[in-house]
Amino acid sequence: MDYMWVVLAFASAVFLAASDALTKRSLEGDDEHLAAGFRLLYSLPLLVITLFIIPVPRLDAGFYTAFCIALPIEAVTVVLYIKALKESPLSLTMPFLALTPIFLIFFSYVLLGEKVSLTGAAGILLIAVGSYVLNISRVKEGLCQPLRAITKEKGAVYMIIVALLYSITSSMGKLAIEHSSPLFFGAVYYIGLNLVYLPYGLTRGLAGNSTRRGGASLRQYLASGRHRRQIVPGVFYSVMVLTHMAAMKLTKVAYMVSVKRSSLLISILFGYLFFREDNIRYRFLGALLMFAGFVLVVGSR
């Protein structure tokens, strides 16, 4: 059996975690909107090159509808995702991406009446236990304190919202891929995301920098060289997209996503190595439980 998809999916996880860690480091003293904008911008070259060397599938109304619904929502997730990276430790934010399949199950139940299987229910329980363990060092302040701590961590709240929005964009993305091809959709989607987000990100980011630094034009910002800190994260981000889509072409989406979401464990490792985040044992254990729950939930669908 060909397991190339495992290599590609795991590579996607590593490149995503590395891009996030490097972006978080670059956010020190910089505006998150500018960081997000330039990370996307520097992901463009590889995506554009890919678009020119892959076949263009025949597109229909299903593709365009899913694409147009997902794109503005994805732009919102960019803002919240970068804010989460800036506001809170990686080890407390990234594990909450494991909530996406739970939101998908909820929508499936509400909209389609689909019920949760025993495997899915076990996965949900593991994710709940894992989210508690993330902050279990606070249990001495009260049994409910680990859960209350989540609501006080801005980055965690932002990432929970991102997970909710990803449940929508992933559904639309799957539909768009069914009406095109994985590599074509990945390239076009993130090129489109640049076009949608960049005008807002640069305008909002420069306004933020102006407030903090006494005024700064785009030319001055470029001259400062701070944007160069997003070159490597941007390249890593584009590699993440392409390996993600290539893996999807080789196996079932559920399998690929389960391997890729190991990025939440890798992010915790990077959080310790790059930022010396504390309580790392509890957070890794919590993230491991959430990851196991994620795999069970995805596998039950």
pTM: 0.88
pLDDT digits (tens, 9 = 90+) for 92-132: 899 999 988 888 777 766 655 667 788 888 888 899 898 88
Three-state SS at 220: helix
Place of tokens 């998150």: 32
Contact at 8 Å (CB) between 82 and 32?
Answer: yes
pLDDT digits (tens, 9 = 90+) for 147-176: 788 888 899 999 999 999 998 898 888 889
Angle between helix axes 32-41 and 182-213 (nearest 10 degrees) is: 150
Q: Residue 191: exposed, middle, or buried by beta-carbon count in 10 A (0-12, 13-18, 19+)?
A: middle
Question: How far is the C-alpha of 58 from the C-alpha of 142, rounded, in Å?
Answer: 58
pLDDT digits (tens, 9 = 90+) for 217-265: 777 778 888 889 999 999 999 999 999 999 988 888 778 888 898 999 9
Contact at 8 Å (CB) between 78 and 194?
Answer: no
Q: Which long-range contacts (CB under 8 A, 24 or more apart) does 248-252 make?
A: 248/177, 248/182, 249/181, 249/182, 249/183, 250/2, 250/4, 250/5, 250/8, 251/5, 251/9
pLDDT bracket for residue 146 (50, 70, 90)? confident
Question: How far is the C-alpha of 296 from the C-alpha of 301, rounded, in Å?
Answer: 9
Q: Is the pLDDT of residue 1 over 50?
A: no
User: Residues for the chain: how many in total?
Assistant: 301
Question: How far is the C-alpha of 185 from the C-alpha of 187, rounded, in Å?
Answer: 6
Q: Give the count of beta carbons closer than 10 Å to the beta carbon of residue 240.
A: 25
